[in-house]
């Protein structure tokens, strides 16, 4: 069912434009629109949504925290900072690939910092604290770059990029991000058995042959590759990694391994449907995709908080 939903969303994304469903009557224009505008957008939407949904499910299982998502480890913040620095320094205007390369570099540096800060501590709490610290530093430096920018056009570009969007993306962005996202997702999918064992506790998981240090490296490396690459080419698209696992868990069960593939497909479908809705409902307003996912995710996050409070009481 999820595979069918993701397929329908992908096909609909290819067929939907600012004027609704369909392609231009002119064959040359139709081919140009399909291959240069809609196909890259649909491919990136599916890849990024899959990366966010899968990484959210893995992090919730590994950290044993229902509110965990990729931004919790500082990876999204690091990628955003790297891209903003590329815009602020003018590198993005001088070199086409400077923006995604800056985002990937920022994500890698943030992940390395989190690993170094949590070194020697295998519990999830230290990793969460390190991620929150790096996220806060990245957010502060990003705000500083926006404040110090003397070019108003660069400031607007930074702000729009931070909101997340699939607009004006080409096959070049797809070829840059797709291999890293696919490798990252493959690494994350291999953690299913270890995450199942981890539900029994750290000691029981070790007795079952799980290397906690190796699992941590796989979780962080996979998230850096998948989410870092997606954020580097499309900006910050939040809440997908938080919402998708919670929506699917009652349908597929509460075993982490069974949730991984479902979250990958569900994340792809959610991002594609959100992007389609923006093109159909507000074609002239240029509402960013990150804003749409935040409007979906923020109330859901609030519901989770209230539900957790009621369960605790």
Nearest to 138 by CA among 116, 157, 162, 169: 162
Distance, in Å, from the CA atom of 135 to the CA atom of 81, rounded to the nearest integer, reads 10
Q: What's the gap between Cα 95 and its chain centre?
A: 24
- Rg of the chain's alpha carbons, rounded to an integer? 19
2-312 CATH fold: ABC transporter involved in vitamin B12 uptake, BtuC (1.10.3470)
Exposure pattern of 266-282 as b/e (b: 16+ CB <10 Å)? bbbbbbbbbbbebbeee
| C-alpha separations of 266 from 213, 240, 246 in Å | 29, 9, 11
Look at residue 222 in the predicted model and tell me its pLDDT: 93
* Number of Cβ within a 10 Å radius of residue 11: 12
Query: Which two three-digit tokens encode residue 47?
Result: 């890849």
Full-model pTM: 0.89
pLDDT tens track of the chain, all 313 residues? 788 989 999 998 888 866 666 666 777 777 777 888 889 999 999 999 999 999 999 999 998 888 788 888 888 889 889 988 888 888 877 777 788 888 888 988 998 898 888 776 666 778 888 888 999 999 899 888 888 877 777 777 787 778 888 888 888 889 989 999 999 999 999 999 999 998 888 888 888 888 888 888 899 899 989 998 898 888 888 889 888 998 898 888 888 889 999 999 999 999 999 888 888 877 666 678 888 888 877 787 777 777 765 554 5
């Amino acid at each position: 069912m999820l595979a069918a939903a993701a397929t329908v969303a992908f096909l609909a994304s290819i067929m939907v434009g600012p004027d609704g469903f369909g392609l231009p009557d002119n064959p040359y224009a139709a081919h140009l629109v399909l291959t240069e505008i809609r196909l890259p957008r649909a491919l990136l939407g599916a890849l990024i949504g899959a990366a966010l949904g899968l990484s959210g499910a893995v992090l919730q299982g590994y950290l044993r925290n229902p509110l965990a998502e990729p931004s919790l480890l500082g990876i999204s913040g690091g990628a955003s900072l790297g891209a903003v620095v590329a815009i602020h320094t003018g590198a993005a205007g001088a070199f086409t690939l400077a923006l995604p390369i800056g985002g990937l570099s920022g994500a890698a540096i943030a992940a390395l910092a989190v690993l170094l800060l949590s070194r020697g501590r295998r519990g999830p709490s230290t990793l969460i604290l390190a991620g929150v610290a790096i996220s806060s530093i990245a957010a502060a430096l990003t705000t500083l770059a926006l404040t110090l920018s003397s070019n108003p056009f660069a400031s607007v570009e930074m702000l729009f990029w931070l909101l997340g969007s699939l607009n004006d993306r080409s096959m070049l962005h797809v070829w840059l991000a797709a291999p890293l996202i696919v490798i990252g997702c493959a690494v994350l999918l291999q953690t299913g058995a270890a995450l199942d064992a981890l539900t029994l506790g750290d000691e029981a998981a070790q007795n079952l042959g799980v290397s906690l240090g190796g699992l941590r490296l796989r979780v962080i490396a996979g998230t850096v590759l998948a989410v870092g690459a997606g954020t580097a080419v499309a900006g910050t698209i939040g809440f997908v990694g938080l919402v998708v696992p919670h929506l699917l868990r009652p349908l597929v069960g509460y075993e982490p391994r069974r949730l991984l593939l479902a979250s990958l497909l569900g994340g792809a479908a959610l991002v594609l449907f959100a992007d389609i809705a923006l093109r159909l409902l507000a074609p002239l307003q240029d509402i960013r995709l990150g804003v749409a996912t935040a409007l979906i995710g923020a109330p859901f996050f609030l519901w989770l908080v209230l539900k957790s409070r009621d369960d605790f009481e």
